[in-house]
Amino acid sequence: MKDTLYNEQAAEGYVNEEGLYIIPVRQPPFVRFFAHLFSYIFHPLFIPSYTALFLIFVHPYVFPDSNPKIKILRSISVVLMTAFFPAFSVFLLKQLGFVKSIFLKTRKERIIPYVISMFFYFWIFYVSLNLRDSPLLFKVMLLGVFLACIAAYMANIYYKVSMHAVAMGSFLTFFILLALQGNFFMGLYLSIATLITGAVCTARLVVSDHHPFDVYSGFLMGAIMQGVAMAVLMG
């Protein structure tokens, strides 16, 4: 039986990839504007870079002895490997005709980008793992990103999991880990991370074709994978 989402002001419906008949709920234009804005600013490809920049330039104890040049080079490497190269790969796939849209609206279109992203995520983790001056928390974050990408790829076989939610689950869980370390007051930053997570996950329900299960399961998936990364490297 097809699951139907509707309200009195619903627009025409459609059947998504999972065979669910979806009737979009219309939201006010300003709500949709901010939902799109949050979705772009906190795109899954940007979350590892944001987290890395926080660890490198804001947290006082993760990179305490690194000189400014090393910090800048480390930041550039993370941005290139976790954001620029995966995004550029999607652009190339679009130009070559392998995907119809850079927004990767179908599960089939997401397969190759997932594999490409896994390659770059593993590479930056492996390089960091073998660098003597690479802090443990930095390695944990990168391993969590890699594992979350693998989990999302596996879930994509069965349904269109929300990549935003996966990233947010990993992001928030990592900030909770930082707070539990107890060597730096994380109250403000954890609150901000929580608000961002809630806003982004809500935004995906507003402006995407995701079923709530896609978002909730994606968040849980990202959180679990970050927890696994902690257990592997800190256990």
The pLDDT, as a whole number, for residue 182 is 76
Question: Quick check: is 20 in a domain?
Answer: no
Question: Quick check: is 45 in a domain?
Answer: yes
pLDDT, one tens digit per residue, over 52-111 is 999 999 998 898 877 888 899 999 999 999 999 999 999 999 999 999 999 888 889 999
Confidence of residue 7 (pLDDT cuts 50, 70, 90): very low
Helical (H) or strand (E) element with 86: helix 85-96
pLDDT, one tens digit per residue, over 132-188 is 889 999 999 999 999 999 999 999 999 999 999 999 999 999 999 999 987 788 999
Question: Quick check: is 169 in a domain?
Answer: yes
Question: Quick check: is 21 in a domain?
Answer: no
The pLDDT, as a whole number, for residue 32 is 86
Question: Quick check: is 13 in a domain?
Answer: no
More confident of the two residues 142 and 31:
142
Question: Quick check: is 7 in a domain?
Answer: no
| Residues in a beta bridge with 5 | 22
Confidence of residue 10 (pLDDT cuts 50, 70, 90): very low
Note the pTM of the prediction, 2 decimals.
0.87
Helices and strands of the chain, counted as H and E runs:
9, 3
Would you list the DSSP string of 111-180? HHHHHHHHHHHHHHHHHHHT-TT--HHHHHHHHHHHHHHHHHHHHHTTS---HHHHHHHHHHHHHHHHHH
The pLDDT, as a whole number, for residue 17 is 58
- Please give the residue range of the domain that contains residue 98: 28-234
Q: What is the number of domains present in the chain?
A: 1
The pLDDT, as a whole number, for residue 221 is 97
The pLDDT, as a whole number, for residue 29 is 80
The pLDDT, as a whole number, for residue 52 is 96
* DSSP tag of 217: H
Percent of the chain with pLDDT over 90: 69
Confidence of residue 1 (pLDDT cuts 50, 70, 90): very low
Question: Quick check: is 112 in a domain?
Answer: yes
Question: Quick check: is 23 in a domain?
Answer: no
Least confident of 11-25, 137-151, 184-198, 213-227: 11-25
Are 36 and 207 in contact by the 8 Å Cβ rule? The answer is yes
Confidence of residue 31 (pLDDT cuts 50, 70, 90): confident
Mean pLDDT of 39-43: 95
